[in-house]
Structure 1
Amino acid sequence: MYKQLISIDVFVPNRFVWQLKVPLKIKIFIWLLFRGVILTKDNLIRRHWQGSKQYCFCSADETIQHLFFACPCAKFLWRIVSVTFGIHPPKNVTHMFGSWLHGVNKKIKNQILIGICALCWAIWLCRNDIIFDNHKEQSYMQILFKTTHFWVLLQKEEERDFVRKACCALETTTVEIFSKHGWMFSNRLLIDDVPVNSEAPV
Structure 2
Amino acid sequence: MVSDLIEPTLACWREEVVRQVFVSANAEAILKIPLCTRHVDDFWAWSGDPKGRFSVKSAYKLIHKMKMGREDWLDEAEEMSSGESKGWSSIWGLQVPSKLKIFTWRLARHSLPTSDVLHRRNMLPSHVCALCGAADNWRHSLIDCNYARCVWALSNEDMVQHMCMQRDDQAKRWIFLTSESLSQEEFTTMIVTLWAIWAARRKIIHEGIYRTPFSTNGFVTSYLADLKQIQKPVDRPPTTPRARPTRQPPPDDHVKINVDAAVPRAGGRGAVGAVCRDASGVFLGASAVIVNNIEDPEVLEVLATREALALADDLYEHKVFIASDCMAAVEAIKGGTAAAYGNNG
- Once the two structures are superposed, the pairs formed by residues 146-157 of structure 1 within 5 Å of their partners are 146-157=219-230
Superimposed CA distance per residue, residues 171-192 of structure 1 (whole angstroms, 9 cap, x where no aligned partner)? xxxxxxxxxxxxxxxxxxxxxx
Correspondence 1:1-202 to 2 at 5 A:
10=79, 11-12=84-85, 13-83=87-157, 87-90=161-164, 91-92=166-167, 93=171, 94-99=173-178, 102=181, 109-135=183-209, 137-157=210-230
Structure 2: gaps (5+ residues): 1-67, 233-345
- Taking structure 1 as reference, are residues 44 and 146 closer, same or farther at Cα in structure 2, changes over 3 Å only? same
Alpha-carbon distance between aligned partners in 1 of 2:94 and 2:154, rounded to the nearest angstrom: 23
Secondary structure (helix, strand or coil) at the match of 1:88 reads helix
Letter in 2 for 1:98: L
1:78–1:89 contact (8 Å) kept in structure 2: no
**Which residues of structure 1 form unaligned runs of 5+?**
160-202
Partner of 1:50, secondary structure, is coil
Q: Shift in Å at residue 147 of structure 1? A: 1.8
CA contact (8 A) 1:41 1:63 kept: yes
* TM-score where L is the length of structure 2: 0.38
Contact 2:115 2:127 in 1 (8 A): yes
Contact in 2 for aligned 1:14/1:34 (Cα 8 Å): no
Instruction: Flag the structure with larger Rg.
Output: 2
Q: Secondary structure at the match of 1:147?
A: helix
Is the CA contact (8 Å cut-off) linking 1:41 and 1:53 kept in structure 2? yes
CA contact (8 A) 1:114 1:154 kept: no
Distance 2:98 2:231 in 1: 21
Q: CA deviation at 1:99?
A: 4.6
Tell me the matched-pair count: 151
Q: What displacement does 1:22 show?
A: 1.1
Structure with greater helix share of residues: 1
Q: Which amino acid aligns with 1:151?
A: L
> 1:155–1:71: structure 2 CA closer, same or farther, 3 Å change rule?
same
Identity of aligned residues (%): 23
TM-score for the superposition, normalised by structure 1: 0.61
Partner residue, 2:58: none
RMSD: 3.1
Conservation of the 8 A alpha-carbon contact between 1:82 and 1:89: no
